[in-house]
Structure 1
Amino acid sequence: MKNLISNKNIYFFVFGAIGGLGSAIMYGVVGLDHTITHKSGS
């Protein structure tokens, strides 16, 4: 039982870390795309 809980915690932590990293990358891509579009529009 302890091993199962421990594995779930590790999985949750890894999933959260990947999710946070993905969000940061997507935010950076959107920000970069917005900057390029803005420069192109000018």
Structure 2
Amino acid sequence: MQNPNLDASGQDFTNEEKLVERALRPQLMKEFSGQENLVE
């Protein structure tokens, strides 16, 4: 069951929030600069 108060679509983001999202989130996984290997 999804929480009706959480909307991950981004449709209700302001222009400022969209700019922040684009700046912080990599477009592709290969651009991600986190840890190199998965750890279980």
TM category (shorter chain) comes to 0.3 to 0.5
Name the structure where helix makes up a greater proportion of residues.
Answer: 1
TM-score by length of 1: 0.32
Larger Rg: 1
TM-score by length of 2: 0.33
